A = this chain, B = another copy of it.
Amino acid sequence: MGAPAIVAPRTPLAPAFVEVLRGIFGNRLHLGEAMRAQHGASETHFAAVLPDAVVFVHSTEEVVALVKACTAADVPIVAYGAGTSVEGNAVPVRGGVCVDLSEMNKILEINPDDFDCTVQAGVRREELNVALRDIGLFFPIDPGANATLGGMASTRASGTNAVRYGTMREAILSLRIVTPDGRDIRTSRRARKSAAGYDLTRLMIGSEGTLGIITEVTLRLHGIPEQISSAVCSFQSMAGAVDTVVQAIQLGIPLARVEILDDVQMKAVNQHSNLNYPELTTLFFEFHGSEHAVKEQIATVGDLARDNGGGEFHWSNLAEERAKLWKARHQAFYAATAMRKGAIGWPTDVCVPIGRLAECINETKKDLDKASFPAPILGHVGDGNFHVIFVLDPDNPAEQKEAEALNERLVQRALDMDGTCTGEHGIGLGKQDWLVRELGEDGVDMMRTIKKALDPQNLFNPGKIFAD
């Protein structure tokens, strides 16, 4: 099930080409079906498409050699990290070689005085934070899944901390990439800002492996705050919860995290994590700063919550309380799919100007209440970004059709409010039609022109972002 994968007729890999790959990768070249199936599957609702081969790369030089071999043989290349993307972003719809970067997992350098580090693309965000903890630094971008940093760059990921610390767009100082013509390019230096020519770094971020394969990522880091506190508050109405957040932002409260979970999602979280939160619309907060600053933030936000009909404002300075809270939040997707036995989750996301968020969520909620399957809402409310997870029976095509219609109305609603069809998941296979509605044929044509110029053979993750 899932959006139909655009699978072109495929010819098997030529034996001579396979020998070239074997010469480069030896036993890190895999042709067996199990490995190919694992790399062709999507975590969500997209049909699997198997690559013809999988290679595990260990260096940028190997990626260059691979790209040259594929270009010579006219074979597609699709980069693969942790496989946690949700719009079919890494499904190799034209086959070819899947380049798995998960073994390029070295932290290359940490510069504490400069607040930055450089890692190979296969490093995962949780491992990075473990390595940073003892030197008092952290990397804030947190999409929930323990994704690779190369993958997070490719889809312009963000997540729970974006309201304060920005998205991958702001977090990345520089990338090392291999281009479709086999060049090894560093897109920028390590300075925090630069006005030196076209912003190649930002062009690569969010390009989903269609313009270059990211092999190294240089990231901006932050000092671990003196005080970190968390809070939870339930609301009788969605509007009360959203208004609390919008008013806090208007007052300039530097919220570090603020997540909204609707009643359906709270029920799923309670069941999955064995918790007993009220099953109402709920805000999860995190505050960072000096002891006094955090105390002041909590007092102000607590007042706002009360004024907007919030229940008790439970806050805590304890790390264990905080860990419990965010673990529950991070498992929201799995909690949602666990609501029905054998179900699969189809997560979708939109992002709207924050003044329209309450209205957008409210209208969506009304629409979802009529659905014949669970469809919880959760979101990064400080950014205007929220998710719906359609929890579907994979063997029921009627549910699939119903979800498609709900998704269509959701995205159109966001576009009508001058929002975007995806805040942080990327276009992949799932949002291509809406990208055209969002930016017009002319905007998408501009992307196509860039793609054609940089990848004239259309070998880097073909079929993604836009139809070619």
Q: Give A contacts to B, CB under 8 Å.
A: 111-116, 155-158, 162, 166-167, 169-170, 179, 183-200, 202-203, 205-207, 211, 222-223, 225-226, 246, 249-252, 254, 288-290, 292-293, 296, 300, 351-356, 383-385, 414-415, 418-427, 431, 434-435, 438-440, 442-447, 449-450, 452-454, 465-466
Cβ–Cβ contact A198 & B353, under 8 A? no
Cβ–Cβ contact A355 & B114, under 8 A? yes
The 10 closest A-B pairs by CB, nearest first: A113-B355, A453-B453, A202-B202, A114-B353, A194-B420, A191-B351, A114-B355, A156-B195, A191-B420, A190-B418
B contact residues around A440 at 8 Å (CB):
185-186
Could you pull out 12 A-B pairs where Cβ atoms are within 8 angstroms? A113-B355, A156-B195, A170-B170, A179-B442, A183-B442, A185-B440, A186-B440, A189-B419, A192-B354, A198-B465, A199-B206, A200-B443
B contact residues around A434 at 8 Å (CB):
196
Cβ–Cβ contact A418 & B351, under 8 A? no
Cβ–Cβ contact B166 & A170, under 8 A? yes
B contact residues around A189 at 8 Å (CB):
415, 418-420, 438
**Contact flag A421-B196 (CB < 8 Å), given A351-B191, A446-B454, A453-B449:** yes
Using CB atoms, name the residue of chain B closest to A212: B446
Q: In the bound complex, what is the Cα–Cα distance between A415 and B423 (angstroms)?
A: 35
Min C-beta distance of A141 to chain B, whole Å? 11
Cβ–Cβ contact A167 & B193, under 8 A? yes
**Contact flag A190-B116 (CB < 8 Å), given A223-B250, A296-B292:** no
Known: A195-B426, A293-B296. 5 other contacts (CB 8 A): A114-B354, A189-B418, A191-B423, A197-B206, A223-B252
Cβ–Cβ contact B195 & A206, under 8 A? yes
Using CB atoms, name the residue of chain B closest to A425: B195
Cβ–Cβ contact A465 & B197, under 8 A? yes
Min C-beta distance of A227 to chain B, whole Å? 10
Cβ–Cβ contact A191 & B353, under 8 A? yes
Min C-beta distance of A288 to chain B, whole Å? 8
- Pick the residue among B116, B156, B465 that contacts A353 (CB under 8 A): B116
Cβ–Cβ contact B191 & A352, under 8 A? yes
Cβ–Cβ contact A185 & B443, under 8 A? yes
**Contact flag A187-B423 (CB < 8 Å), given A193-B158, A292-B296:** no
Q: In the bound complex, what is the Cα–Cα distance between A118 and B225 (angstroms)?
A: 35
Cβ–Cβ contact B191 & A115, under 8 A? no
Cβ–Cβ contact A292 & B289, under 8 A? no
Using CB atoms, name the residue of chain B closest to A207: B198
**Contact flag A223-B207 (CB < 8 Å), given A191-B420, A351-B191, A415-B189:** no
Cβ–Cβ contact A196 & B113, under 8 A? no
Q: In the bound complex, what is the Cα–Cα distance between A8 and B225 (angstroms)?
A: 56
Report which residue of A420, A421, A450 has the largest number of chain B beta carbons within 10 angstroms of its beta carbon: A420
- Pick the residue among B194, B353, B422 that contacts A111 (CB under 8 A): B353
- Pick the residue among B187, B251, B353, B444 that contacts A190 (CB under 8 A): B353
Q: In the bound complex, what is the Cα–Cα distance between A342 and B118 (angstroms)?
A: 48
- Pick the residue among B186, B422, B465 that contacts A443 (CB under 8 A): B186
Q: In the bound complex, what is the Cα–Cα distance between A352 and B466 (angstroms)?
A: 38
Q: In the bound complex, what is the Cα–Cα distance between A190 and B417 (angstroms)?
A: 9
- Pick the residue among B179, B202, B356, B445 that contacts A169 (CB under 8 A): B202
Using CB atoms, name the residue of chain B closest to A246: B113
B contact residues around A200 at 8 Å (CB):
439, 443, 446-447
Q: In the bound complex, what is the Cα–Cα distance between A179 and B425 (angstroms)?
A: 28
Cβ–Cβ contact B185 & A422, under 8 A? no
Q: In the bound complex, what is the Cα–Cα distance between A290 and B301 (angstroms)?
A: 13
Min C-beta distance of A158 to chain B, whole Å? 6
Q: In the bound complex, what is the Cα–Cα distance between A450 and B293 (angstroms)?
A: 47
B contact residues around A415 at 8 Å (CB):
189
Using CB atoms, name the residue of chain B closest to A201: B202
Min C-beta distance of A364 to chain B, whole Å? 15
Cβ–Cβ contact B195 & A203, under 8 A? no
Min C-beta distance of A297 to chain B, whole Å? 9
